[in-house]
Amino acid sequence: MIRRLAKLSNIFFSASAPPGAVQLIVRGEVAALPLTGVIDFAAEKVRLQKDLARVNSDIARIDAKSKEVKLFPLPAAFAHATLNTLAFDGKGLVWFTGYNGVYGRADPKSGKVEAWKAPRGSGPYGMTGTPSGVGAVVAGDSGAAATSCAKGAAAAGVSSIAPVVDATNVEWMRRTELVRRARQHGRSATAIAFDLPLELCLARNAARSRSVRAAVVRRQHDELRRGLDRLDLEGFTAVYVLRSDGEIEGAIVQIEKGPVARAL
pLDDT of residue 112: 92
- 201 within 8 A of 193, measured Cβ to Cβ: no
Instruction: Mark the ranges of the chain whose per-residue pLDDT is less than 50.
Output: 134-135, 137, 258-264
DSSP class of 237: S
Give the pLDDT confidence of 169-227 residue by residue, as tens digits: 888 888 888 888 888 877 788 888 999 999 999 999 999 887 889 999 999 999 999 99
Contact 34, 21 (CB under 8 A): yes
Residue 140 is predicted with a pLDDT of: 52
Sign of CA dihedral 70, 72, 76, 78: negative
Q: Rounded distance, CA 194 to CA 248, Å?
A: 8
Q: Which residues contact 143 (CB under 8 A, 6 or more apart)?
A: 165, 177, 178, 181
How much is the pLDDT for 222? 93
pLDDT at 262: 41
pLDDT recorded at residue 27: 74
User: What residues form DSSP beta bridges with 229?
Assistant: none
By 3-state DSSP, what share of the chain in percent is helix, strand and coil, each rounded to 5? 35, 25, 40
Q: At what angle do helices 214-227 and 198-207 cross, to 10 degrees?
A: 140
Q: Is the entire prediction scored with pTM above 0.75?
A: no
